[in-house]
Every structure is written in C-alpha cells, then in structure tokens.
Amino acid sequence: MTAAADRFLTEDAVPFVDLPPQQDNGRTGAAFDAARQQSWLVRTTRGYEVIEYAACRELSVDRRLDGVGPDYYRRLGASEQVMWYATQASLPMIEEPRHARIRKALQHGFTRPRVERMRPLMRQAAWRLVEQMAGRDPFDVVGDFTDRYPIEVLCALMGVPDEDIDRFGSWTVDLGLLAKFPLEPHLPRIDAAIRGLRGYFAELIGRSEDHPGEDFVAAVVAAQGETGSLTHDELCGALLNLLFAGHDTTRYQFGTMVHLLVRHGWWQRIRADADAIPGAVEEALRLEPSLHILLRQAREDFEYRGLVLPAGTLLILNTFAANRDPAMFPEPNAFDPARTSPGKHLTFGSGGRMCLGHLLARTEMAEALQVFLEWFPLLALAGEPQMPAGLSAMNGVETLPLTRSVPR
C-alpha cells in the first residue's frame, strides 16, 4: 500500500447510482454518463461498478484481480451439475493459474486461419436460414434467424453432424438459463442440458483421440502435450463453456446490429459499400455490447487511484458505460459506423481473460450481415423491438420485427 492510498472502499466513499430494477440497460447508460463526471467507480444496486474507460481497461488486465470463483453459483443455490459447470467449465470463474492452463489449450482452436476457413460455412448457414424466411413479411430477425444461426456456427466449429444439430441446439438454449436469476426454477432444464452435453462431448473427445482429424476438438486435444494435460472433465467443461459463451452473446449482438443500422438510416449506406461492414460490426459492439458486465474479485488488499480495495471485493467492470466514455469516443452515444477508432471498445474485455471467440464472433456477424444485405435491399422497422425486462448482464433485442417494403 502506498502513502497515496488515503481511503478504504466503503459504501460512502463513492457515489451511488440508483438503477431501478425495471430500468432497461439503454437508459442505465444515461445515469452513468452523469456519474462518470464525478468518479471512475460507483455503487449501484448490483455492487461496485467501474464506469470509466481508462479504469476499466487498466483493471481488466490487473493481476491483483481474478475471476469470481465457483462460490458465485453456490450462493445462488446451484445443483450438483451446476457446481460441476462452475468448477470444471466456466472459464470466467476458474481462478489462476488453472484458468491460464485451460485457456492456452483452447486458444489452439481459435487461430485466425481456422476462423477464416469457416467463412464459407457461416455464409451457407446464414443463406439457408434467410432462404427459409422467403415468404415472410414482416419477419422477426431474432425468432427467424439469430435464435438458430450461432448454434449452426458452433456445431460447424465443433464438428457436430447435421443430424445432431436440433438436439445439440436445445441443450445449448437450456444452458443459457445459467444466466437467469433466480436460478432455482430453471435447474431441471439446466441439469438435463449439462448431463446431455457432457455425454455428447465425452463421445466427441473419444472419437478425436482415436482418429485425430483437423477439426476444432482435435486441435485442442492435440495441444495438450504442449500446454500441460487437461483432465477429461476440464476438456469436456471447456467445450461446454464455449456453448454458453458463444450462443446468446452472438445471438443478441447480431439482432442489435441490424436494429441499429435500420433505425439510424445506415442500411443503404452500408449496402452500397461492403468495405464499411467491419466498421458497422465494431460500432454495434461498442454502443450496445451484448454482454457488458465483467466480474472480478480482489485477490489481495490493493490500492488503485488512492482508494484501497480490500481482498475479496467484487468489482463489476461495466463495458457498456466504459464504451460510452467521451474521453475515449467523441459523441459517444451516437451510432456512427464510420468512426476512426473502431475496435478500441472493451466489449470483449482485454488481457488474460479476453474473449477467446472474438474473432469468430466478429467474422460470424460480418458474414451474416453480408447475406442480409444481399437479400434485403430495403429494410424498415415493422414495430418496436422487445428488450429484455429489467437489468441483465445480457443486452440486446428479444424480437425485431422488420419489413422488406419501406413505408412511404
């Protein structure tokens, strides 16, 4: 601790921002805009939240902070299967140095060439789903497209054969219930999904060990010699975690991007210039991150900007608020795909816990957007989208009704 550290973190050491439970995440942003002028850290009904860009960036790579550990789920009354998930699968919860060892093995599955090779598969999946929407007008981007698209991409990534996609897809959807609060009413479906997926992955890993191929699972299995072996449970858990990490995040983010482009009059502009697609993806990620809360816990007492954070303090790094910090992004609340600082946002975190699937997600969104732009020269809102009720770590459209004919 240094002499500059003059204050212990206590409830009255930082401003309080009242977030009524029914307030949606969009309006929450405005409350943080005002608070950021006074402080980098605030207290809310959820806990202590870091809302300034520079502080979020620094703290996301600070080794004095770690994942929150499996107690997070234990406190929510988790079942045996959920505790297996928390201790073996959930990378954001697994503490160092075990986290780094598992992450290193998984990284071999997410190389740029591997993601690039998946572009045609992504495009085919998007094309097939859009074709199935052919007779529908208006249509719902979420129900008709994004509910299914990320699952198809994840199945292609992991080498799940077409005939298993439906079964795999419903387990993946039920796994997403792990983000619900309270957890208890959803436990029967979550438990069945974890059990089903563990059995499925055990077979997939067994096949890969017996007949090594070139797919994702094979790459991760093969990396083990190099990175130090993972136990069978860790390997199974790591694959299971990818479904949780890669489904709802991308599902919400794609719908949000289409919504922003249509609502803010960018659809035709992007359509006229395919080079603008990456900028549109980055700007949607910045302005409306689908997952905008990174959870961290102090490993030890430590000082940051004159404030002492006692060991065990839980911190929320709020990337929604950080991405709207005017010190980093001029006119931060405007949707502008032509920004000159694309990719500087913190939506995927940064440092040793940064999202492993960021390249996959970015490519997935760009490929699907390209297909939408080819199929739909004109798009307009056919009603207001529904947003998740109340405060949630996940943000994005639940329904997005669109029409191909633009009303006069």
Confirm or reject binding of residue 290 to ligand HEM (CB under 6 A): yes
Q: Give yes or no for a contact between 303 and 73, defined as CB atoms under 8 angstroms apart.
A: no
Nearer to ligand HEM, 39 or 253 (CB): 253
Dihedral Cα 9, 15, 19, 24, nearest 10 deg: -100
Determine which residue in the list 349, 363, 367, 402 makes contact with ligand HEM, applying CB under 6 A: 349
Query: What are phi and psi for residue 42, nearest 5 degrees?
Result: -130, 165
Which of these segments, 10-18, 38-46, 127-135, 354-362, binds ligand HEM (CB under 6 A)?
Answer: 354-362
Q: Pattern of binders to ligand HEM over 39-78, x per CB under 6 A?
A: ---------------------x------------------
Rounded (10°) CA dihedral 119, 120, 124, 125? -30
The 6-25 contact track toward ligand HEM, x by CB under 6 A, reads --------------------
Task: State residue 344 phi and psi, 5-degree precision.
Answer: -85, -10
CA 90/CA 220 separation, integer angstroms: 17
Q: Which is nearer to ligand HEM, 148 or 187 (CB)?
A: 148
Nearer to ligand HEM, 13 or 54 (CB): 54
In this structure, are residues 129 and 390 in contact, taking their beta carbons and an 8 Å threshold?
no
Quote the CA–CA distance of 242 and 106 in Å, as a whole number.
Answer: 10
**Smallest distance from ligand HEM to CB 395, Å:** 10
Q: How far is the CB of 201 from ligand HEM (least distance, A)?
A: 14
Residue 93 makes contact with ligand HEM by CB under 6 A: no
Nearest-Å Rg of the Cα atoms of the chain is: 21
Please give the Cα distance from 34 to 17 (Å, whole number): 9
Of residues 144 and 282, the one with the C-beta less far from ligand HEM: 282
Query: Site map for ligand HEM, 222-261, x if CB under 6 A?
Result: -------------------xx--xx--xx--x--------
State which of residues 29, 70, 169, 357 lies at the interface with ligand HEM (CB under 6 A). 357
Of the candidate residues 51, 65, 86, 91, the single one contacting ligand HEM (CB under 6 A):
91
In whole angstroms, give the CA distance from residue 263 to residue 379.
10
Query: In whole angstroms, how close is the CB of 86 to ligand HEM at the nearest point?
Result: 13
Q: Collect all residues with Cβ–Cβ distance below 8 Å to 262 and sequence separation of at least 6.
A: 379, 380, 381, 402
Cβ proximity to ligand HEM: between 60 and 318 the closer is: 60
Q: Which residue is nearest to ligand HEM (CB)?
A: 357
The b/e string for 360-375 (b: 16+ C-beta within 10 A; e otherwise) is bbbbbbbbbbbbbbee
Quote the DSSP letter at residue 293. Answer: E
43 vs 353 by CB, closer to ligand HEM: 353
Quote the least distance from Cβ 191 to ligand HEM, whole Å. 22
- Binding of ligand HEM at residue 360 (CB under 6 A)? yes
CB atoms within 10 A of CB 5: 16
CB closer to ligand HEM out of 238 and 309: 238
Tokens of 169: 């897809």
Closest CA to 77 of 180, 228, 153, 170: 180
- Which residue type does 372 have? F
Least distance in angstroms from the C-beta of 319 to ligand HEM: 7
Choose, by CB under 6 A, the member of 294, 315, 373, 391 that binds ligand HEM: 294
Pattern 260-289, binding to ligand HEM, x per CB under 6 A? -----------------------------x
The least CB distance from residue 280 to ligand HEM, in Å, is 13
Residue (187 or 297) nearer to ligand HEM, CB: 297
Confirm or reject binding of residue 347 to ligand HEM (CB under 6 A).
yes
In sequence order, what DSSP letters do the residues of 189-252 get, joined into one string?
A: HHHHHHHHHHHHHHHHHHHHHHS--SSHHHHHHHTHHHH-PPPHHHHHHHHHHHHHHHSHHHHH
Exposed e or buried b per residue across 273-288, where buried means at least 16 C-beta atoms within 10 angstroms of its C-beta: eeebbbbbbbbbbbbb
Residues forming contacts to ligand HEM in the complex (CB under 6 A) are: 60, 91-92, 103, 241-242, 245-246, 249-250, 253, 289-291, 294, 347-349, 353-357, 360-361
